[in-house]
Amino acid sequence: MKIMNCPLNGPRNISEFTCFGPVHDAVDAQSASDAAWCHYLFYQENKAGIIREWWRHTPSNYYFIAERHTVTDEIIATYSASELSRIENKS
Amino acid sequence: MMLNEGSPHAMPLTLLKYGLKRDYVPHREIPATPDLRRRYDVVIIGGGGHGLAAAHYLSKYHGIRNVAVLEKGYLAGGNTARNTTTIRSNYITNQSIRFYKEAVSLYEDMSHELNFNVMFSQRGQLTLAHSEATLRSFHLRAEMGKHHGTRISVVDPRQVKEICPHLNMDEGGQHEILGGLWHEDGGTARHDAVAWGYAAQAARRGVEIHQRTEVLGFDISGDKVSAIRTSRGTVSVGHVIQAAGGANQHVAKLAGIDMPIRCFPLQAMVTQPLKPFLHTLVSSANLHTYLMQSSRGEIVIGGGSDPYQLISTRSTLDIKEQLAHGAVQLFPFLHNVKLLRQWAGITDMTPDYTPIMGASPLRNYWLDCGWGTWGFKATPVAGKYLADTVANERVADILLPFSLGRFETMALINEMGATAASH
Ligand SMILES: Cc1cc2nc3c(=O)[nH]c(=O)nc-3n(C[C@H](O)[C@H](O)[C@H](O)COP(=O)(O)OP(=O)(O)OC[C@H]3O[C@@H](n4cnc5c(N)ncnc54)[C@H](O)[C@@H]3O)c2cc1C
């Protein structure tokens, strides 16, 4: 059994969670070009290393962020989505 | 036991002498890896089924023989050797059915074509419906398939029972079988033999197969690749075909090409050998499980991809439990059977469950990518038309819908429903 640490519910079996794929920038729906839409919809991070993803604890319908290593299958960190903007403002 | 000349177990002395003779050269179907030449007309990245099939078609039908296949590991050690060998053409869209139908017919003739027994066994594929919604999608697939002249029909529970008498119909239960999609053209072949057969044919015509040769980068001038840097030196090149399986997104990136691909593991497992009882391929989308019996008697069990992306071939107990659950639901008497082996491959998944083939932003760089969990069946047809494309320097008509450009024009070819659980 693999354990994921939910920022809201604490450590739970990973079967209780659903992955929603890498975090990526939204496009401006009014002004985005076809190419920008295409990139937004279909081109996602596939790095061999640490990626940042949206996850959900399904029974409580709580969405949050996880940092995961795509080669070692380690979960590095999990935190609430509100921290995301803080991290992005810093970098 | 005494061995003597008359015993069928004795190695005749003359044979031993023959083998030890100084001028005896053992027959090798695939020559040892030679030194790299300075230049090749065509370099194929990836010595899996797809790359080797392309090499065969280039050398046999287009007279292009100054060809190198570069394989970072050993021959067919990627997804080709890990797949569960379902061959079928029961897809949903016109473009896919047309393409995979030709794939199936090339398998029908493959042992002849390669003079190598690939053990193609066209035993039919039965996909099960446990809900009305699934049955409706089966009607759509059956009508599409009939329109293209493939053998496919929707069958009722009585016919399901006739085709596969050992199935648990689960009448009144949670997973009651309400009907099936019966695809008589479906079958399996031996994956190693397919790769080996293409490799042997290509090698006979002069294609060089370089194992343990990893592509590390490209020299690009203008809109063309001029040279490929490998772990064994740099070669200049006329054309490149990329067929790197699970590494497709990363290899393309080395050439500066972005691909809408993410890597997901796909796992499978086999049981101990049993008496033959399962004479068709059986699959259930609702249970995310499919089964077939190999010619050794083992039950091969596979299902859906891992739930999150990963560039690793580790296996998990979660998926094994899920597969075992599906298998025991369909065939309860399997509950005591032991598992012999389990494994995973890294699959290169596209957003629409359809491959990416043909042109790239570089004029002499051709793609055979995005084969995800469904590309073994396409080995011959992809090889044939990639070779055709390179020889004519023009994308073959049948490949045009599968272009990398389809994402920008939103001309996706959605095969998720016909692919996610059956491959
Ligand atoms: C468990 C599992 C079950 C499957 N079941 C089915 C099925 O039932 N039916 C079906 O049709 N498909 C199935 N598939 C999918 C199928 O296996 C693949 O789509 C198909 O084998 C792809 O063949 P390929 O030759 O393109 O890739 P591969 O066989 O993966 O070959 C690519 C090769 O490229 C090499 N390579 C990678 N990077 C480099 C580099 N930088 N330099 C040099 N070489 C490199 C790799 O080592 C590899 O050998 C399954 C896959 C898995 C994992």
Domain containing residue A77 = 3-24+36-90
How does pLDDT run across B35-61, given as a tens digit for each residue? 999 999 999 999 999 999 999 999 999
How does pLDDT run across A49-66, given as a tens digit for each residue? 999 999 999 999 999 999
For the beta carbon of residue A31, count every other beta carbon within 10 angstroms. 7
Of A15, A18, A46, Cβ closest to residue B263? A46
Residue whose CB lies within 8 A of the most ligand 1 atoms, among B118, B230, B376, for a mutation test = B376
Going from the C-alpha of A76 to that of each of A10, A27, A73, B11, the distances in angstroms are 15, 28, 9, 60
Last residue of a domain, one of B349, B367, B402: B349
- B339 and B271 in a single domain? The answer is yes
**Phi, psi of B134, deg, nearest 5:** -65, -40
- B300 and B152 in a single domain? The answer is yes
Query: Mean of the pLDDT values across residues A35-55?
Result: 97
Closest CA to B134 of B268, B283, B266: B283
With respect to residue B203, please indicate whether it lies within any of the assigned structural domains: yes
How does pLDDT run across B365-384, given as a tens digit for each residue? 999 999 999 999 999 999 99
Integer Cα distance of B199 and B317 in angstroms? 36
Using a CB-CB cut-off of 8 Å, the residues of chain B touching A3 are none
- B229 and B360 in a single domain? The answer is yes
Report the CATH number at residue B151: 3.30.9.10
Query: Mean of the pLDDT values across residues B74-102?
Result: 97
With respect to residue B257, please indicate whether it lies within any of the assigned structural domains: yes
Predicted confidence (pLDDT) at residue B1 exceeds the cutoff of 50: no
Structure tokens at B161: 């029972």
With respect to residue A29, please indicate whether it lies within any of the assigned structural domains: no
Give percent of chain B above pLDDT 90: 91
* Chain-centre distance for alpha carbon B189: 10
Using a CB-CB cut-off of 8 Å, the residues of chain A touching B413 are none
Complex confidence, ipTM: 0.95
Ligand 1 contacts (CB < 6 A) are: B 45-51, 70-73, 76-80, 82-86, 214-215, 243-247, 251, 266, 268, 302, 345, 347, 371, 373-377, 423
Last residue of a domain, one of B349, B384, B407: B349
With respect to residue B146, please indicate whether it lies within any of the assigned structural domains: yes
- Quick one: pLDDT at residue A36? 95
Residue whose CB lies within 8 A of the most ligand 1 atoms, among B373, B379, B385, B419, for a mutation test = B373
With respect to residue B409, please indicate whether it lies within any of the assigned structural domains: yes
- B280 and B310 in a single domain? The answer is yes
Integer Cα distance of B192 and A74 in angstroms? 33
Structure tokens at B95: 């473009």
Structure tokens at A4: 């994921």
Predicted confidence (pLDDT) at residue B3 exceeds the cutoff of 70: no
Last residue of a domain, one of B288, B316, B349: B349
For the beta carbon of residue A89, count every other beta carbon within 10 angstroms. 7
With respect to residue A73, please indicate whether it lies within any of the assigned structural domains: yes
Q: DSSP labels for A17-78?
A: EEEEEE--PPP-TTT--HHHHHHHHH-----SSEEEEEEEETTTTEEEEEEEETTT--EEEE
Predicted confidence (pLDDT) at residue B149 exceeds the cutoff of 70: yes
How does pLDDT run across B63-73, given as a tens digit for each residue? 999 999 999 99
The DSSP call for residue B339 is: E
With respect to residue B119, please indicate whether it lies within any of the assigned structural domains: no
- Quick one: pLDDT at residue B421? 77
**CA contacts within 13 A on the Cβ side of B85:** 26
Query: Mean of the pLDDT values across residues B254-259?
Result: 98
Question: Do the chains contact at A34 and B408, CB–CB below 8 Å?
Answer: yes
Integer Cα distance of B24 and B16 in angstroms? 11
Predicted confidence (pLDDT) at residue B62 exceeds the cutoff of 90: yes
Query: Mean of the pLDDT values across residues B195-210?
Result: 98
- B407 and B271 in a single domain? The answer is no
- B360 and B414 in a single domain? The answer is yes
Question: Do the chains contact at B261 and A46, CB–CB below 8 Å?
Answer: yes
Predicted confidence (pLDDT) at residue B26 exceeds the cutoff of 90: no
Query: Mean of the pLDDT values across residues B170-184?
Result: 97
With respect to residue B31, please indicate whether it lies within any of the assigned structural domains: no
CA of B191 to the centre of ligand 1 (A): 11
Report the CATH number at residue B255: 3.50.50.60
Looking at per-residue pLDDT, the higher value among B215 and B9 belongs to B215
For the beta carbon of residue B373, count every other beta carbon within 10 angstroms. 25
- B212 and B197 in a single domain? The answer is yes
Predicted confidence (pLDDT) at residue A84 exceeds the cutoff of 90: no
Integer Cα distance of B84 and B316 in angstroms? 18
Predicted confidence (pLDDT) at residue B5 exceeds the cutoff of 70: no
With respect to residue B20, please indicate whether it lies within any of the assigned structural domains: no
By C-alpha distance, the chain B residue nearest A19 is B308
- Quick one: pLDDT at residue A91? 59
Q: How many domains does chain B have?
A: 2
- Quick one: pLDDT at residue B344? 98
Report chain B's mean pLDDT, rounded to a whole number: 96
The alpha carbon of residue B46 is apart from the nearest alpha carbon of chain A, in Å, by 19
- B224 and B164 in a single domain? The answer is no
- B73 and B164 in a single domain? The answer is no
- B267 and B180 in a single domain? The answer is yes
Query: Mean of the pLDDT values across residues B78-94?
Result: 97
Looking at per-residue pLDDT, the higher value among B194 and B3 belongs to B194
How does pLDDT run across B318-373, given as a tens digit for each residue? 999 999 999 999 999 999 999 999 999 999 999 999 999 999 999 999 999 999 99
- B282 and B342 in a single domain? The answer is yes
Is B366 in a helix, a strand, or coil?
strand
With respect to residue B115, please indicate whether it lies within any of the assigned structural domains: no
Report the CATH number at residue A72: 3.30.2270.10
Domain containing residue B315 = 125-185+263-349
- B71 and B209 in a single domain? The answer is yes
Give percent of chain B above pLDDT 70: 98
Question: Do the chains contact at B351 and A70, CB–CB below 8 Å?
Answer: no
Going from the C-alpha of B336 to that of each of B303, B329, B333, the distances in angstroms are 20, 13, 7
Q: DSSP labels for B126-189?
A: EEEE-SHHHHHHHHHHHHHHHHTT---EEE-HHHHHHH-TT----TTSTT---EEEEETT-BB-
Q: How many domains does chain A have?
A: 1
Confidence of residue B9 (pLDDT cuts 50, 70, 90): low
With respect to residue A52, please indicate whether it lies within any of the assigned structural domains: yes
Confidence of residue B422 (pLDDT cuts 50, 70, 90): confident
With respect to residue A49, please indicate whether it lies within any of the assigned structural domains: yes
Using a CB-CB cut-off of 8 Å, the residues of chain B touching A2 are 316, 318
Q: DSSP labels for B210-269?
A: ESS--EEEEEEETTEEEEEEETTEEEEEEEEEE--GGGHHHHHHHTT-----EEEEEEEE
The predicted model scores a pTM of 0.95
